[in-house]
Copies of this chain bind each other. A is one copy, B any other.
Amino acid sequence: MATQQVLIAGAWREADATGTFQAANPTTTEPLEDVYPVSSWSDCDAALASAAEAARQMRALPGERIARFLETFADCIEGCSQDLVAMAHAETALPVSPRLADVELPRTTGQLRQAAAAARSEVWKRPIIDTASGIRSCFGPLGPVCVFGPNNFPFAFGSISGGDFAAAMAAGNPVIAKANTSHPGTTRLFAEEAQAAADATEMPAGCVQLLYRISHADGERLVADPRVGATGYTGSRTAGLKLKAAADAAGKPIYLELSSVNPVVMLPGAVAERGEKLAEEFTGSCLLGTGQFCTNPGLVILLAGKETERFIAQVAARFKEASIGTLLSASVADSLATAIGLLQQAGATLLAGGTSGGGRGFSFANTLLRVSGEQFLNSPEALQSEAFGNASLMVVADDDAQAGAVLDRLEGNLTGSIYSDTAGGDDELYDRLAPRLRPHVGRLINDKMPTGVAVSPAMNHGGPYPATGHPGFTAVGMPTAISRFAMLECYDNVRPHRLPAVLRDENATA
């Protein structure tokens, strides 16, 4: 079978390949048929050259043109949704319905249309016009954006379909997409539709480009290349930190979503009031999608007591009873086994699961672990190892003070939840603990599990390091997510006819 082609400079062409690879069907663990190239640096270089030229051309386009491209692309996606869903299901084993067809695909096209609206209105440019001093500023495009998408959202975070792609394009930047190697076929289908939409809306060649796989060294060279404006990366912490180091050394912005254990604090009143309901809610959130969410609740903080013991026993029973889902890839299954081992080495005891297999294809038993607050405080780093998948760690603190100390030692996370009783009995404790959780999380949640990331302008899908690389930005939510891929451009004493439209006197707000 012929090796698939890469998309460079507006055309599909043979890769300058150093090798090939195939994705696996997670349900059968067998390789899928299609063969994809590992690109050499010369493919990266060609994509960069084309993207640099596309950036120059896109800079001159009105937001309306970008909006039309994004909307046409969304329409194209809907036109071939069945193919996309079938391919993504084969490559990821994520359920066709409701997950892929009814949730993630509409979310993806919705995001693209929200990005289109922001591109059209130019609201993301945040113009400031100081007529008295003759100084005006707004945000503008940053240059070509490299997007490395994750394995767990083949549509909504896909390299050439997801939030980073939509945000980068909305700001007028071309995108060089590096497919996630666990779903190259899904990414290829999106790239075909994106190129068709680019052709139909007469966008510059090279505004969307696709490589499937490159060496780690070429990845580091890519994000640091002078022609690059910025990078968006969602994936493992290890690979992400290597890219971050390379980009940082070159002074290139890189927005990363690396890992998060999403602590959930269950205050005693809530556990006493509705422990069984909480056990059901927690189990559902933790095992949803076989736990493969960035916002999976991987760490639960409880206060010692009889009700807490009953809650933990209920969760353990539910974990054992629940069916074991399929994981995205062999590497996800391996990493999960490694992480569970690390947590046990650091003192966590198994309450459920802990063994590989048990489900269809790549799988690992639903796993629940437990440590005391004291153990956590003795090994806070090891016990915050992300176990990406259907697993979670319960931390049982002796008292309020120890629970607070546990919160103080939390690393940066995307989310942190606090459950409290409805009658207000937990309020005083909430007031003492919430300020100690707040600085460590991007999104503070009450009485709700962290899974489920609404596409709202108020959303923060971000948080302090190591959840992301910068605590001031979100990866989800238009138009806020767009500002990651924009630079601040000031115009001082620039003659009126040379100003960008958004900065002209007729648009002055003050």
Q: Which residues of A are interface residues toward B (Cβ below 8 A)?
A: 56, 59-60, 128-130, 133, 135-137, 139-140, 142-143, 244-245, 248-253, 412, 415, 430-431, 434-435, 438-439, 442-448, 454, 456-460, 462, 464-466, 469-474, 480, 483, 486-495, 498
Contact = CB atoms under 8 A, between A and B. Distances in A.
Contacts of A493: 445-448
Nearest to A459: B135
Contacts of A56: 435
Contacts of A444: 489-492, 494
A248 B245 contact: yes
Contacts of A439: 59, 143, 487
B245 A249 contact: yes
A134 to B, nearest CB: 9
A483 B472 contact: yes
A205 to B, nearest CB: 19
Nearest to A59: B435
A492 B448 contact: yes
Given A130-B457, A472-B487, A488-B462, A248 B248 contact: yes
Given A60-B435, A458-B136, A251 B469 contact: yes
B492 A445 contact: yes
A473 B139 CA distance: 10
B489 A438 contact: yes
B474 A488 contact: yes
A271 to B, nearest CB: 18
Contact of A446 (B140, B244, B412, B492): B492
B472 A460 contact: no
Nearest to A485: B472
- 7 shortest A-B CB distances, which residue pairs? A251-B465, A460-B490, A471-B487, A443-B490, A130-B458, A248-B248, A128-B458
A429 to B, nearest CB: 12
Contact of A248 (B143, B244, B466): B244
Contacts of A471: 142, 253, 487-488
A471 B460 CA distance: 21
A277 to B, nearest CB: 16
A262 B139 CA distance: 20
B488 A434 contact: no
Contacts of A489: 438, 442, 444, 460
Contacts of A431: 498
A402 to B, nearest CB: 18
A128 B488 contact: no
29 contacts: A130-B456, A130-B457, A135-B454, A135-B459, A136-B458, A137-B458, A137-B474, A140-B438, A143-B439, A244-B248, A250-B465, A251-B466, A251-B469, A253-B470, A415-B492, A442-B488, A443-B490, A443-B492, A444-B490, A444-B492, A445-B492, A446-B494, A446-B495, A447-B493, A471-B487, A472-B483, A472-B486, A472-B487, A472-B488
